[in-house]
Amino acid sequence: MKKIFTILCFTIIATVAMHASAQAQSYKNAIGGRFGAANGVTFKTSLGDNKMLDLIANFRSHDNYNYFRVTALYEVYLPIANAPGLNWYYGGGGSIGTAKYKPTHSSDLYLAADGVLGLDYKFANAPLNLSLDWKPAIQLAPDTNFDASGVGLSFRFTF
């Protein structure tokens, strides 16, 4: 049921977004930290028009395992009317990394297909950017699993 709901939400958002066009983001590059279900470093760069590439390196630790992964996301930005500096965005990409199992001291390849849906705010008079997003992932290796816990808050310096 979660998978069907997620697919339905992304389909609706993509359909609405295809009818909008704008120069949404107000910065070319941004670097900072991402905090949430997994903590790490994030770097965003403009691909022109209303598109951005978000590169994230993060780690996560649980009772029985921890992992490190690198994620690349292609994001489409759309402005929110009457809210200067505030955009919503959606996109997708993938993750690759390592998963280490604490009880056996073994490790595996981590591979996932990721989606993203979020809000992005660029402060008008400061080189700062704040974003809140949800990054669900379909884990492909070492196990097949749907991970809906990817909520994160990012603070970035823009340039």
Give 61's pLDDT tier (boundaries 50, 70, 90): confident
Going from the C-alpha of 156 to that of each of 16, 77, 107, 150, the distances in angstroms are: 28, 17, 32, 18
List the structure tokens of 16: 């609405």
Query: Does the pLDDT of residue 15 top 50, yes or no?
Result: no
Q: What pLDDT does residue 94 have?
A: 98
Mean pLDDT score, 49-64: 93
Rounded to whole angstroms, how far apart are CA atoms 13 and 5? Answer: 12
Question: How far is 41 from 154, CA to CA, in rounded Å?
Answer: 9
**pTM for this entry:** 0.81
- pLDDT digits over 117-137, tens only? 999 999 999 999 999 999 999
Please tell me the predicted confidence (pLDDT) of residue 159: 95
Give the C-alpha separation, 71 to 97, whole Å: 9
Residue among 15, 47, 42 nearest 30 (CA):
42
CB atoms closer than 10 angstroms to residue 116: 25
